[in-house]
Amino acid sequence: MTVGGTVTPSAEPRLAAPSAFAPDVAGNDDLPLTPQASPGRGVVPFDLPGVYVGTAEYAEGPTGCTVVHVPAGARTAVDARGGAVGLSGGYDFNHAICLAGGSVYGLAAAAGVSDELLARRRNQVRWDDLQIVSGAVIYDFSARDNAVSPDAALGRAALRNAKEGEFPVGRCGAGRSATAGKVEFGRAEFTGQGAAFRAYGDVKVLVATVVNSVGVVVDRDGAIVRGNYHSAEGVRRHPAEDYAAMIGRPDAPAPVPGNTTLTVLVTNVRLPERELNQLGRQVHGSMQRGIQPFHTENDGDVLFTMTTDEVDLTGVRSTGLATLAAEVAWDAILDAAR
């Protein structure tokens, strides 16, 4: 496919009904919310000892959160791009990363993760006992007619559900109501969260992503696999074709606000701070291949790069590691769109 071409869908369309955005809809205080497990369609196994992943959701949304927990803590680099970033903490060392729906209100889930970790430390608050949590959110209200958002109770539940070596994927956790391909929202399709893991000798790379983008999801053959689905024609179209047709039109639809792709990359490679930051930047930039367009003014994309500092990198430099990790990231994007 060339940019601007039309692609007949190979996957069954999964259109999201746009919200009416009516006032006085139900929110957290109006419902007897109970955190539920959020298993998705399965798990991606990974071999990174000491890394745990948990999910939880409110079915009434539906909306949810995903927690990546490293009890020993992990050095972290944060790369935030686009015009609408929702981020808390953003620390260079974390014991947990919390991804959530609910836009700015969903940042409360990360506070719940902090509460749970404090309780697990028996309320010890010495400087070296503090548990560090960063959080980031997607705007998922576009696909539902309520104001339910992940809160502290849901964050705690996701952490309590965490298991070592398994990443839940599909329409679960923070990706429960994620969508992609929003030139106009009526063409958006549900995505979710995806993950991929690869080992290259002793070097290990896990990438997980929640795709809630303006852009469509594109595979390695250039085919659009999710988003911008034109029901009347039965095709998914590259946004470039639609944007080109809008030039000079005073009645062209306004850009759809409220989008974000959240990504966590975990490796066991010991890297200096500068190289850890560059690893995240290179991989985040590479994700443009699988999400088009990406990092727009209406996106708030965040990538957390974490290292467990277990092995040294030999044979290739960090550029080579990032090149390999970029392919893992593309696999995770495609997994989110399945």
pLDDT at 223: 96
Residue range 46-94, pLDDT digits in tens:
999 999 999 999 999 999 999 999 999 999 999 999 989 999 999 999 9
pTM: 0.95
Mean of pLDDT values over 217-227: 97
Residue range 301-323, pLDDT digits in tens:
999 999 999 999 998 889 999 99
The Cα 16–Cα 36 span in angstroms is 22
pLDDT at 252: 87
Percent of the chain predicted with pLDDT > 90: 93
Nearest-CA neighbor of 210 among 109, 267, 138, 151? 138
Q: Is the pLDDT of residue 282 over 90?
A: yes
Residue range 232-279, pLDDT digits in tens:
999 999 999 999 999 999 988 887 899 999 999 999 999 999 999 999
* Radius of gyration over every alpha carbon of the chain, rounded to an integer in angstroms: 19
Q: Which residues are CB-contacts of 174 (< 8 A; sequence separation ≥ 6)?
A: 55, 64, 65, 66, 99, 100, 101, 137, 138, 150, 193, 210, 262
Stated as kind and residue range, the H or E segment containing 120 is helix 108-120
Q: Which residues are CB-contacts of 186 (< 8 A; sequence separation ≥ 6)?
A: 15, 18, 231
> Which sequence positions are flagged as catalytic?
260
Q: Regarding beta strands 301-311 and 260-269, do their DSSP bridges make them parallel or antiparallel, or are they unpaired?
A: parallel
Q: Regarding beta strands 203-212 and 192-200, do their DSSP bridges make them parallel or antiparallel, or are they unpaired?
A: antiparallel
The Cα 204–Cα 206 span in angstroms is 7
- The phi and psi torsions of 245 (rounded to 5 degrees) equal -70, -20
Tokens of 130: 């503090």
Dihedral sign from CA coordinates of 225, 229, 235, 236: negative
The Cα 181–Cα 166 span in angstroms is 28
The Cα 90–Cα 302 span in angstroms is 10
What one-character DSSP code corresponds to residue 260? E
Tokens 């030999």: give the residue. 314
Residue range 164-176, pLDDT digits in tens:
999 999 999 999 9
